[in-house]
Amino acid sequence: MKTLRVLLSIAIAIAIASETSAGFAEALARYQATPASKVTVNGTSTIHDWKMEGKIIGGHFDIDSNFPLDTSAGKLPDLKVNSTAEVSIPVQSIKSGTKRMDEVMLEAMKQPEFPKITYKLTELSPRTGQHKPGDPLEFVSKGELTIAGVTKPVEMSVTMEKFEGNKLKIIGSTPIKMTHHGIKPPAPNIALGLIKVGDEVKVSFEWITAQKNEAAK
């Protein structure tokens, strides 16, 4: 009897949840991740600076369908925008170009346990003030970044620009401290001696999304 009640309440909860998201879907335009994105991690070490690159950023970005994603505007609305985003990057898709360093990185990021870096957008506001027509639109974003299973809030500037009709390019970057996410900066012993990797890295991304016809309905 009790089980039935629990099941019933879960069913109701799901029904409400789907109702709610269906309600949002009318107001939000969905931009789905497409190939050709780029994520870059720039870091330092005791020997030289290093760089890793990935080409896969998955997920979707939903934004109020009435919001003018139009670079010709002289000024952006001075309001928080109704929007969500779920972003996911496979850790193993980020490459250094050398086998050994990739192995060290996957180990440090506990990849088998946490194969994805995820990000959830919680707040998006247009940057106030004048906007130069033609320039990408500027926003301040707040969200939660999960790396190696540890979630931290992150605030960063992002720009958005529509192109080729239905596509949207979202660009941003943020510094990240490995230790904040419980990652010990690697100190691999290689032929040239012991290398110590700097704690702070800069993560930059260029996320290409597209509004699909089905999703837009």
Partner 1 sequence: MKTPLEPFDFNRREFLRGGSVASLAALFGMVQTGAQDAKPAEAEKAVTATNTGVIGLGTRGREAVAVLGSLSNAQVTALCDHYPSALKRAGNTAPKAKQYADYRQLLGDAEVAAVVITTPPHQHREIAEAALAAGKHVYLEVPMAGTVEDARAIAQAARIAGKVVFQPGLQERSHPQSHFLLPFVRSGGAGRTIKARTQWHRKTSWRSNSPNPEREKELNWKLYRETSQGLVGEIGIHQMDILTWFFGQRPKSVMGFGTIQQWKDDRQTADTVQCIYEYPNDVHVSQELTLTNSFDSEYSMIYGTDAAVMMRENKAWMFKESDSPLLGWEVYARKDSFYKDLGIALVANATKIVAQGKNPAEEAPYPNPPLFYALESFLFNAHELTTATKDFIENFGGDDPKALADHLATLKLLPAPKWREGFEATVVALKANEAIESGEKITFRDEWFVV
Cβ-Cβ contacts under 8 Å for 217 (sequence gap 6 or more): none
Nearer to partner 1, 59 or 143 (CB): 59
- CA R_g for the chain: 20
Is 158 a binder of partner 1 (CB under 8 A)?
Answer: no
Is 211 a binder of partner 1 (CB under 8 A)?
Answer: no
Nearer to partner 1, 90 or 136 (CB): 90
Nearer to partner 1, 117 or 137 (CB): 117
Is 135 a binder of partner 1 (CB under 8 A)?
Answer: no
Q: What is the rounded end-to-end Cα distance, in angstroms, of the chain?
A: 42
Side chain identity, residue 183: I
Strand segments (E) across the chain? 28-33, 38-43, 50-54, 58-64, 83-90, 116-126, 137-147, 150-163, 167-177, 189-190, 193-194, 200-210
Asked if residue 85 lies in contact with residue 143, where contact means CB atoms within 8 angstroms, the answer is yes
Q: Which region among 71-79, 84-92, 126-134, 173-181 touches partner 1 (by CB under 8 A)?
A: 84-92
CB of 56 to partner 1, least distance (A): 5
Out of 40, 44, 45, 56, the residue judged to bind partner 1 by CB under 8 A: 56
CB of 148 to partner 1, least distance (A): 13
Q: x/- site string to partner 1, residues 85 to 124, per CB under 8 A?
A: ---x-x-xx-x-x-x--xx--xx---xx------------
Task: Give which of 170, 168, 166 is closest to 214, Cα–Cα.
Answer: 166
Is 34 a binder of partner 1 (CB under 8 A)?
Answer: yes
Cβ-Cβ contacts under 8 Å for 46 (sequence gap 6 or more): 194, 195, 196
Residue 110 to residue 183: CA distance in whole angstroms = 8
Is 177 a binder of partner 1 (CB under 8 A)?
Answer: no
Is 55 a binder of partner 1 (CB under 8 A)?
Answer: yes
Which residues of this chain interact with partner 1, rule CB under 8 A?
33-35, 55-59, 88, 90, 92-93, 95, 97, 99, 102-103, 106-107, 111-112, 191-192
